[in-house]
Structure 1
Amino acid sequence: MTDSTRSRVQAASAKRQRLMAAAAQVVHRQGVERTTIADIARAADVPVGNVYYYFKTKDDLVAAALAEHARQLEILTDRLDRLDDPRERLRSLVETWVSQRDLAARYGCPTGTLAAELDKRDEGGLDAAAGRVIRLLIDWVGRQFGELGLPDPEGLALTLVGAYQGMSLLANALREPDIMNRQGARLLDWLDSLSAEAV
């Protein structure tokens, strides 16, 4: 591969990534139905005509937004995996959720709200794709509980992720970021209280 070809490939890859990140952001803030391809192009600073080179339909862009959510989750969990203790990983996850309280209060959980919206559509199978992103989180959380030697790590993971979805929904519905603070503190206390003997 020549240097100029490599540069073109890298530029195309960077533009595609910019579009994916913009799709994730715009869809989270506006919802699928209110988002246009032009909105995403504008957010990515890409001419509208160029978008079709990478994504043929709006559903392709929604799928790209979900892929970006999965990528961001992987970045987060890779960072958390550098912590030695699984309980600290889970605590840091909760602290990350709480740090995004203003965004959650305004727009809800990026993946959870998208999953709920996509579930109301009849076509495309994108609702299942949203579920797979949430499943990635549940599986990672379950592994942490498993490393702690706690019984029913899957059930505990569902409890923790469900609590996050609930506090994000309530913070958004009531437009109260402090709900994330209060519920996050309860989750941290709950995590600290768990032991293999007590569960």
Structure 2
Amino acid sequence: MSRIREKNQEVIIKFAGRLFAEQGFAATKVADIAKLADVPKPNVYYYFKTKENLYRAVLESVTQPLLEASSPIEQLDDPVQALTAYIQTKLRISRDHPFASKVFANEVMSGAPYLPSDIGDELLAQSRMIIAKLERWIEKGVMSRVSPQHLMFTIWASTQTYADFSWQICNVLEKEALDDQDFADAAEFLTQLVIRGCQIKSA
């Protein structure tokens, strides 16, 4: 893929994500995406063929990083290092992909009617891997006997909320937008909350 083609696709995906997040899939028109992205409408169809394909591309722009985020849990034996890296990465995704994250959240809250089955299968496999690793650490005695499922849900919710509910967070913090320091502070707090709350020790 040429760099120009790749860049054009990234621009279209970015602005499509914004409109899908604000209006939903059904209400979003390809013409509006093209106008916001400042590209001819035929270009959108040239690159993506259909609105459904473009929606999938927006979902993939956040689900792929989400799938890759669990690599530390899969690869590292030390739960402190693994969970610290996981939380930091999840927060970076919320920072870097705010609109796509909202699209994904809206999709899930709607019962995932448009989520491609292969992406759903990958996310489920990832969840099972994380749960199995947490169970292994519990059995090794390096963390307390908490529910691995609910710990995973808590990490998901507490990291993705910085994208999905950014308006509310900015309102409380009395600022127009979150900056890098806000995400660094969130990472430090959430990491300590998980590590101390679950009595996690280095393996």
The TM-score normalised by the length of structure 2 is 0.59
How far is 1:99 from its partner? 4.2
**Cα distance, 1:137–1:82 mapped onto 2, change above 3 Å:** closer
CA shift in 2, pair 1:182/1:16, >3 Å: closer
Per-residue deviation at 1:74? Answer: 3.3
Q: Does 1:142 align with 2:142?
A: no
Instruction: After TM superposition, give the deviation of residue 58 of structure 1 in Å.
Output: 1.5
Unaligned 5+ residue runs, structure 2?
A: none
Alpha-carbon separation, structure 1, partners of 2:72 and 2:7: 20
Residues 84-163 of structure 1 aligned to structure 2 (within 5 Å): 84-99=77-92, 103=96, 107=98, 110-111=100-101, 113-118=102-107, 125-126=113-114, 132=120, 135=124, 138-149=127-138, 151=145, 152-163=147-158
Give SS of 1:93's match: helix
Instruction: Give 1:188's aligned residue.
Output: 191
> How far did residue 114 of structure 1 move?
0.9
Residue pair 2:80, 2:200 contacting (<8 A) in 1 also? no
Question: CA offsets, 1:14-37, max 9 Å, x none?
Answer: 957963x44543233343538654
CA deviation profile, 1:130-159 (whole Å, cap 9, x unmatched): x93765664454344234225432221112
Task: Tell me what 2:59 maps to.
Answer: 66
**TM-score of the superposition, structure 1-length normalised?**
0.60
Identify if the C-alpha distance between structure 1 residues 101 and 52 changes in structure 2 by more than 3 Å, giving closer, same or farther. Answer: closer
2:18 aligns with 29
The answer to whether the 8 Å contact 1:16/1:54 transfers is no
Identify the residue that residue 49 of structure 1 maps to in structure 2. Answer: 42
Alpha-carbon spacing, 1:143–1:66, altered in 2? closer, same or farther (3 Å): farther
Task: Mark the runs of 5 or more structure 1 residues left unpaired by the alignment.
Answer: 1-9
Partner Cα distance (2:193, 2:70) in 1: 21
What letter is aligned with 2:157? G
Q: Which amino acid aligns with 1:66?
A: L
Native 8 Å contact 2:76 2:82 kept in 1: yes
Distance (whole Å) between structure 2 residues aligned to residue 160 and residue 45 of structure 1: 37
| Conservation of the 8 A alpha-carbon contact between 1:31 and 1:114 | yes
Which whole-Å deviations, capped at 9, do the CAs of 1:106-147 have from their partners, x for residues lacking one?
x46x33x1134446879x922686x93765664454344234
The answer on whether the counterparts of 1:26 and 1:35 sit within 8 Å (CA) in structure 2 is no
Kept in 2, the 8 Å contact 1:167–1:179? The answer is no
Contact 1:23 1:64 in 2 (8 A): no
Q: In structure 1, what residue type is equivalent to 2:189?
A: R
Give the one of 167, 170, 174 matched to 2:169.
174
Count the aligned residue pairs.
181
Alpha-carbon offset, residue 42 of structure 1: 8.5
- What percentage of aligned pairs have identical amino acids? 20
